[in-house]
Structure 1
Amino acid sequence: MTTATASRADEGLNQTFDTVATLQDQFVQMADGFVRALPGFAIALGILILTWIAARIAVRVTNRVLDRTDLRPGLENLVKTLVKLAIWIGGLMIAAVVVMPGLTPASLIAGLGIGAVAIGFAFQDIFENFLAGVLIMLRKKMRIGDIIECEGIAGKVEHITLRETYVRKLSGEVTLVPNSMLFKNPVEILTDETQRRHEVIAGVSYDTDLDHAAKVIRAAVQGVETVDADKGIDVFAVEFNASSVDFKVRWWAGSKPRDMWESKDKVIRAIKSALDDAGIEIPFPYVTHTFKEAIPLGSGDKN
């Protein structure tokens, strides 16, 4: 082995030793820093536990205060959520400052602002639903318990969170609807009032006295117990149909879907019975055939 080769080998060995020594020093420094940070982590953990306890106590106190008010259930959920969120944000900020003493509240808030922009782009849909949930809870319409229809989804509003709304279908299934969908699309609230107007079509034959038929139908509807006669009953002749003159009958009754079906059932039964008693025909559809030439009615030629 030449002197130059031996020298290069020694240099390589020395570099290896230097690298190992550097790694050892860094590991020792990291371990030392971790040990020194343990008290801070313990204090931060204690702060988080206290934050959890404080949040639970705050929610209970908020519940007691809200029970004395007339706030809507959705708005109550929003207040409780905001109280819990504010306490947790404060606790997390204090814990972060304890773990990293060089972190000041000002720098933490600035970092949160920059991070919020990045997170906002990454989780745009989530924040959109969050904001929509806040706005839905703030507005007066669409309360918990209402029957709604939106984009083909119909059912009872059971629960409203900051991200989604639980809609229980009339057949029993529950649908989790994103709040942005309910906020950006038209929502039909069927139970906004205790009553709404319902209607059916009733047909009578062409040889019927329409004024008499209208009186019979009106009297029949007025006699139904589920109908609010004080709000008026409408009986309009609306169409010359293929085999009948059709009346549109409108009345006011309960707004819930079951109220509607029960009321329609009783109204249709009452109209049918009243027309039968008055001798007014409810015709079946029939077809009239017209021929250019007369059709012989005889038996024809015999062979």
Structure 2
Amino acid sequence: METTITEAFDAIVTKLKDWLSTLIEYLPNFGLALLVLITAFFVAKYVNKYTYKLVSKKVKQESVAQIISRISAVVLVLLGLYVALGILNLSKTLTSLLATAGVAGLAIGLALQNTLSNTVAGIVLSFRKKIQIGNWVETNGFSGEVIDINLKEFVLKEADNNIVIMPNKMILENPLKNYSLTTKMRVSIECGVGYESDLEQVKSLTKQTIAQAFDQVESEDNVEFYYTEFGGSSINYLCRFWIDAESMLEKLRAKTTAIIEIKKAYDKAGINIPFPIRTLQFDNKLALENSEQSKEISEN
């Protein structure tokens, strides 16, 4: 019994001596690995701040700038961990960690496929110079001012002050019309005048009215005027001109001003803008006579 206890004690002491020898042997490597991790941590903090400042100059969305700076910091820390494990000769452990991370990443990617696609789309949209916060755009059947682009959604404010929230991937996968990329917009006015009107006078008066109402229209020659059809109660025309504008609200205001000024000018000149008229004509006299005869018979 005493022999067994002695052998067990000797085995424990031998094992502890082996561990101590291994610890002393790998102590420089352990210290160097720890130094690498600490250095990577502090460098990652500096890189995080520097990347945030650099990205925020090009991207107005704070959330996007933060995620990019954090990703760069995490990558640097992982690189430090990789070097530290290499110093400790733990290549097998490193391989196992990478394999586990790969499997876990695949599972998480499949589970969060839509979320990740919106996140990637948000980062891509943030770096697109042709789509900026404050632009007036039209996409997916909605039109409004871009008020936010984050990692999840694309936010518009319509002309009636309603907020439209769309997933980023819808913006990236569908056509988008950006009115703010150009400094000019064309305003179109469709109207009609009575058949008794002097068409040359109508044309001249309309172009003159538009040229006087807008400073951007240099002369009457810059106003397009075309008669389009003989309508049911009027001769219809199309009038077009360009204004300096970057949003649909400015275009709507200009169209409103043009309609008001044209109406004033027509009223002053006695030009009629007719409304639809329906005339009922009864030509079947036989039907009327039969109706009157039937009425007389019923009275008798």
The TM-score normalised by the length of structure 2 is 0.68
Q: CA deviation at 1:106?
A: 5.5
| Code of the aligned partner of 1:175 | V
- Alignment CA distance shift 1:124-1:152 (3 Å): same
1:241 corresponds in structure 2 to 231
Q: Is the 8 A contact 2:59 2:127 kept in 1?
A: no
Q: Could you report, residue by residue, the CA deviation over 1:119-159 in whole angstroms, capped at 9, with x for unpaired residues?
A: 22222112221232233233332211111222233321122
Counterpart pick for 1:257 among 248, 258, 262: 248
Q: Is the 8 A contact 2:48 2:73 kept in 1?
A: no
- Alignment CA distance shift 1:105-1:248 (3 Å): farther
Q: CA deviation at 1:212?
A: 2.1
2:282 corresponds in structure 1 to 291
Counterpart pick for 1:157 among 136, 146, 161: 146
Deviates more, 1:229-238 or 1:54-63: 54-63
Q: Is the 8 A contact 2:82 2:94 kept in 1?
A: no
| Code of the aligned partner of 2:46 | A
- Alignment CA distance shift 1:178-1:267 (3 Å): same
Pair 1:135 & 2:124 matched: yes
1:276 corresponds in structure 2 to 267
Q: Which has the higher helix share?
A: 2
SS at match of 2:189: strand
1:18 corresponds in structure 2 to none
| Code of the aligned partner of 1:251 | F
- Alignment CA distance shift 1:106-1:256 (3 Å): same
2:49 corresponds in structure 1 to 57
Q: How many residues are paired up?
A: 253
Q: C-alpha root-mean-square deviation of aligned residues, in Å?
A: 3.9
- Alignment CA distance shift 1:219-1:249 (3 Å): same
SS at match of 1:159: strand
Q: CA deviation at 1:267?
A: 0.6
Q: Matched residues, percent identical? A: 25
Q: Is the 8 A contact 1:236 1:248 kept in 2?
A: yes
| Code of the aligned partner of 1:160 | I
2:68 corresponds in structure 1 to 82
SS at match of 1:191: helix
Q: CA deviation at 1:218?
A: 0.7
The TM-score normalised by the length of structure 1 is 0.68
- Identify unmatched segments of 5+ residues in structure 2: 1-33, 290-300
Q: Measure, in 2, the Cα distance between the counterparts of 1:284 and 1:213.
A: 17
Q: CA deviation at 1:245?
A: 0.6
